[in-house]
Structure 1
């Protein structure tokens, strides 16, 4: 690279959500090129004594230089660098600001000069340049040139936007590598790779693609935890092989909580079955909301039931029709209670939060209401507060919610027979998979577009 005028990056910044493999990638790089790998957490530099943090930073960079000179190269890795490298402009005044800015300044100095010659190198160069030629030859034979290895520093952070601009400029961190959450295909490959070392049934392998579609938003670490949980569930039920039921139960356990059965009084058990059946019927008949894979009235943590929907594609954009269908599915539990039991209950609290949030985004962010004004430009408060505190914005959000409530009620009335059959089947079995749902509702014509795991009927104590 240097022969054609390029420079090897001095520093690399890994940024991305927690659990996406930043530390693992740094270790893999060091192992691949067989050089020493020195790790430090940013919090390990911090000290209660003034000036000690700076001293620890200098000591770490010195250790990396020595390791590089000795081994021909080295990688220094600082995890969670935002703990000591936050921007100085957002800090107040006084001794606290002085101490923190001093730490950032020390980082800047070290990153800028860590490849400069060390004291011994400077002495050797000075003597070589100042002594007469015969003495230089003798000096060179007695004291061969000191080895000078190349060191590269890698830092990881979950909050790159909070780092000081001088810290992340070219010349200090020349390259930034973004670690995104894995896509559906990558999650599927991660699960298959983790199951390859474990005894797994064919049914579990067949379910991997569906499980991967249900884990949108999960990091690599979260997916690995899911597989570990599935192995634990298989062991607890006395099996030596991981089954598909273990994967589904592990998914529900990691995202919601451990199933506790259905310890409800008869009238509440009926209401919960009606509520979940409403979500399932709406999701079954509305396009663009994914395929309904599981309906359950098992209690998991604060969630009294769930309706899981699957998508076979990653979603990068959503249309207005898809957003409206998602709102309809969210409101379907409440609407089903009103149709079958005559009135809704507090179990719709979390559904209303989700429906309102989607409607706010439609009106205040995506320009899908009556106005194209984006409330995201108001930086001082959040989108929800900005939209709902505006009289016209609140009116438009309310209109979206009421419109979808009417549409959902009409849909459930048209499919009242299927709704009733699903309620009684759910009361009898407590949990239904896709095949059992299809036996009751028939073939679904809805297209799998979005991914959602609806957690419904959370206890509202207010």
Structure 2
């Protein structure tokens, strides 16, 4: 706001000066005067043709008896004109010579110099970037941190939901910033640095802003990549400048987002060697725990790659408190949805708990995107309120991709897709202990021509061996249905086979779930320098590799046989589901359960892509989008063709 006001005042001053200059330099009479030479003027006086004159120095203006106005210049120090005018009876008026004001005189004389000085100041300001945080040529070493004060940082803990444990750990930091003496009386020392670790979109940045908003202190925000430049030493200078600014506003919070961009482990070959990055990291280490104290300054950093950070950065005295920001559980997702639904006019039938059950594995950013997509869908449908069908369709779009209605499929392709997805769904319904089928569709979404989605009934953190084997059978169900009913094989099962093979190989090599026994078989390729070239080689023997391949093949063939037997024994259910898919294109959980019970499925609810999914016992199912934080995705979930 100050810069805008300065610019406005500057242009106003320039306009006033120009008006004064033009007013004094471009004076003109109200009536145009015709120039007359001096000899004609003298002749006119003698002939009595001059009626009146106005003398201004050696400049004479006047009018003839005919009414014509004239203007003439007399010789300097001429003493003959006035007596002649008096003798001819001409009315004479005398005006003092017009003198320029002192300010205008100074302005005119000094204008070139002032112009040069102004241009010089302008270019120096451009090079200097106009202050802290500028991007000019002379401010490479200035910090680019943006400061948020209490007035423009309105985020509090009330705006952060779903990560209650992380908020509890940070509550004492807020209390320290409000009342430091409470801790200092007992000799306590608040952590100098707090490292927020978590998946992308879990709310690390929002949580840091909430700390500053609750404590009502200045908040300096900067990205790790803002420190690194092409010139060595610039990043270290910016770190020093950032802490100097923070000391002036202490107590305050410095937030460094994506600190792994500058805090990578030194000498480990992670991201390549970089003198600029290492000098910046060294300066950051010194500022956080060096000889000079930084009382009242708390550094909060966020990263989703804590494994690549330098150990010196994580030791006590620097980032001595590490807070994990996990993906929210079902209660956390419900609270996050309620926060985002405050800004959206939702219908009375919208239940945040129901949506939360259907979105396990979603981060806070995913849930915010879900609410936004639901609002956009309701707007496209010209609704005043966002209802449950809009949220269901938005969830399908986020999880499975947007419907590709422009794809034109032949009847043969639709039939192949219908039987393929029916094979997945029937095997999933017949195997015990599998996740409920949420939806089956042959409408192309994303890169898939059809999808079968399973949603677990609760958040999952690990998987049993039998569950993994059942998932392999489900993945094989699509290929088997094509073989049994259409007597053909298509490339649509390629992704299913790849995922099934990956699960079987992990069972053998990582999870100890095969005949080889409970041992991890390393299959990672190691990089070895031979001469000047780098080559890769596996660290397991050929015999072990053949044993692993045999175990994987046995698991795949066994589960393939089980799935084929289930489909051949339930041909009527597969055919009925395929016919229903060709008719309705999308089947929800209730329709799938009706087909498995031998009944005709009810038509889908009007106004959306289907009714809201629920299991046969009425409990709403949920989805595990990521398969847990520390485990790979095991749930077949989406079976693209």
Which of 421, 424, 440 aligns to 1:295? It is: 440
Question: What is the SS of the residue equivalent to 1:308?
Answer: strand
Q: Which has the larger radius of gyration?
A: 2
Question: What is the SS of the residue equivalent to 1:87?
Answer: coil
Report if the CA contact (8 A) 2:370-2:391 is conserved. yes
Q: Structure 2: how far apart are the matches of 1:229 and 1:114?
A: 52
Question: What corresponds to 2:264 in structure 1?
Answer: 86
Q: Displacement, 1:444?
A: 6.0
Q: Displacement, 1:351?
A: 0.8
Which of 391, 394, 412 aligns to 1:250? It is: 394
Report if the CA contact (8 A) 2:256-2:300 is conserved. yes
CA deviations on 1:60-94 (whole Å, 9 max, x unpaired) are: 111111110xxxx1111111111011001213999
Report if the CA contact (8 A) 1:335-1:409 is conserved. yes
1:33-432 superposed matches below 5 A: 33-68=215-250, 73-91=251-269, 97-113=274-290, 116=293, 150-205=296-351, 208-209=352-353, 211-261=355-405, 263-372=408-517, 374-375=519-520, 377=522, 380=525, 390-432=545-587
Which of 584, 592, 601 aligns to 1:437? It is: 592
Q: Structure 2: how far apart are the matches of 1:114 and 1:270?
A: 74
Question: What is the SS of the residue equivalent to 1:315?
Answer: coil
Q: Displacement, 1:215?
A: 2.8
Q: Displacement, 1:176?
A: 0.3
Q: Structure 1: how far apart are the matches of 2:567 and 2:496?
A: 17
Mark the CA change 1:393 to 1:360 in structure 2 (over 3 Å): closer, same or farther: same
Question: What corresponds to 2:172 in structure 1?
Answer: none
- 5+ residue gaps, structure 2, are 1-182, 528-537, 598-614, 625-634
Normalising by structure 2, we get a TM-score of 0.61
Report if the CA contact (8 A) 2:441-2:587 is conserved. yes
- Greater relative CO, 1 or 2 (CA 8 Å, sep 6+): 1
Q: Structure 2: how far apart are the matches of 1:108 and 1:85?
A: 10
Q: Displacement, 1:360?
A: 1.4
Q: Displacement, 1:51?
A: 1.1
Q: Displacement, 1:235?
A: 1.1
Q: Structure 2: how far apart are the matches of 1:213 and 1:361?
A: 29
Q: Structure 2: how far apart are the matches of 1:266 and 1:285?
A: 28
- Cα RMSD of the aligned pairs, angstroms, is 2.7
More helix by share: 1
Question: What is the SS of the residue equivalent to 2:311?
Answer: coil
Q: Displacement, 1:257?
A: 2.1
Report if the CA contact (8 A) 1:291-1:310 is conserved. yes
Question: What is the SS of the residue equivalent to 1:293?
Answer: strand
Question: What is the SS of the residue equivalent to 2:587?
Answer: strand
Mark the CA change 1:428 to 1:450 in structure 2 (over 3 Å): closer, same or farther: closer
Q: Structure 2: how far apart are the matches of 1:305 and 1:209?
A: 28
Question: What corresponds to 1:11 in structure 2?
Answer: 193
Q: Structure 2: how far apart are the matches of 1:196 and 1:411?
A: 48
Report if the CA contact (8 A) 1:79-1:157 is conserved. yes
Mark the CA change 1:374 to 1:450 in structure 2 (over 3 Å): closer, same or farther: farther
Question: What corresponds to 2:202 in structure 1?
Answer: 20
Report if the CA contact (8 A) 2:474-2:636 is conserved. no
Normalising by structure 1, we get a TM-score of 0.84
Q: Displacement, 1:100?
A: 2.6
Q: Structure 1: how far apart are the matches of 2:565 and 2:302?
A: 52
Q: Structure 2: how far apart are the matches of 1:297 and 1:209?
A: 29
When structure 1 is superposed on structure 2, of 258-267 and 402-411 the one drifting more is: 258-267
Q: Displacement, 1:12?
A: 0.6
Mark the CA change 1:428 to 1:59 in structure 2 (over 3 Å): closer, same or farther: same
Q: Structure 2: how far apart are the matches of 1:400 and 1:281?
A: 21
1:457 matched to 2:603? The reply is no
Mark the CA change 1:450 to 1:390 in structure 2 (over 3 Å): closer, same or farther: farther
CA deviations on 1:425-456 (whole Å, 9 max, x unpaired) are: 110000111222222112969x9898446333
When structure 1 is superposed on structure 2, of 297-306 and 96-105 the one drifting more is: 96-105
Q: Structure 2: how far apart are the matches of 1:3 and 1:115?
A: 22
